[in-house]
């Protein structure tokens, strides 16, 4: 029988992120629990990760709202290959727009037990309306983090991220389906220490998953 350990679905862009092996090593520094990492590469960052069409906020964005198609690819092709022998506890995570996508996928499907959104683009137009109308999967857990300088940028859309992330954390607090959640403030802006922030988030989620399984086994 294949051991049931957390499988991490990391939404990443090769040009902007560390390698999967590098991320594995980084995560392992912060947890002693076992895990598997599946890197889901994105090449069309704005298009594939935006949950619905939205206005351009920088003059070069292309938010065409194709996240449903990318989620379908993960669910129908990537997950069956990664879990060919036995379904595993699943955690989805990402940084920036990938953090927005992770939170959206977590709330809009029953596919993932855990979610990690680091510096997630929760400033995205219409996000909180969506989040208020959706619940997390049963017995799930969620990790949010943000740089303390991110709410103080000049771009008004991006500056909404602090209030939006706090509001999302409050929604997780009120959601009876969420058995564990946390919101971590990091020092710095959006681009500081992205790999370490992501690794710490995944490690927290791995530990939360294993603790949840241990608690159920003790009942």
Dihedral angle at the C-alpha atoms of 165, 105, 63, 42, nearest 10 degrees?
110
Q: Which two tokens stand for residue 69?
A: 């198609």
Note the pLDDT of residue 219. Answer: 33
Mean pLDDT in residue range 50-70: 94
Q: Which of 13-22, 123-132, 173-182 has the lowest mean pLDDT?
A: 13-22
What are φ and ψ of residue 85, in 5° steps?
-105, -35
Q: What is the pLDDT of residues 141-152, one digit of tens each?
A: 999 999 999 999
Q: Cβ neighbours of residue 49 under 8 Å, at least 6 residues apart? A: 11, 42, 67, 70, 94, 97, 98, 100, 101
- State pTM to two decimals: 0.94
Q: Break the chain into its structural domains and give their ranges.
A: 7-218
Residue 16, C-beta contacts closer than 8 angstroms, at least 6 positions apart: 45
**What is the per-residue pLDDT for 16?**
53
Pairing of strands 90-95, 36-41: unpaired
How many Cβ atoms from other residues are within 10 Å of residue 90's Cβ? 22
- Asked if the model's pLDDT at residue 2 lies above 60, the reply is no
- pLDDT given at position 3: 60
Take residue 178 and report the two structure tokens written for it: 């969420």
Indicate whether 217 pLDDT > 60. Answer: no
Q: What CATH number should be reported for the domain whose range is 7-218?
A: 3.40.50.1820
pLDDT in tens, 143-200: 999 999 999 999 998 999 999 999 999 999 999 999 999 999 999 988 888 999 999 9
pLDDT level of residue 214 (50, 70, 90 thresholds): low
> Is the pLDDT at 70 greater than 90, yes or no?
yes
């Amino acid at each position: 029988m294949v051991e049931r350990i957390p499988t991490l679905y990391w939404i990443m862009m090769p040009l902007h992120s560390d390698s999967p092996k590098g991320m594995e090593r980084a995560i392992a520094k912060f947890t002693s629990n076992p895990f598997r990492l599946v890197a889901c590469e994105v090449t069309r960052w704005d298009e594939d990760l935006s949950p619905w069409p939205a206005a351009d906020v920088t003059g070069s964005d292309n938010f065409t709202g194709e996240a449903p198609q990318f989620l379908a690819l993960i669910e129908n092709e990537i997950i069956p290959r990664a879990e060919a022998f036995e379904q595993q506890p699943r955690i989805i995570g990402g940084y920036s727009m990938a953090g927005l996508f992770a939170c959206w996928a977590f709330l809009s499907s029953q596919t993932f037990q855990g979610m990690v959104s680091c510096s997630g683009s929760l400033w995205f137009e219409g996000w909180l309306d969506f989040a208020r109308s959706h619940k997390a999967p049963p017995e799930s857990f969620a990790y949010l983090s943000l740089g303390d300088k991110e709410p103080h940028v000049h771009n008004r859309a991006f500056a909404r991220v602090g209030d939006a992330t706090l509001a999302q954390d409050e929604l997780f607090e009120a959601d009876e389906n969420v058995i564990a959640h946390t919101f971590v403030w990091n020092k710095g802006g959006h681009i500081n220490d992205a790999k370490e922030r992501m690794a710490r988030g995944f490690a927290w989620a791995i530990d939360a998953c294993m603790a949840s399984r241990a608690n159920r086994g003790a009942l």
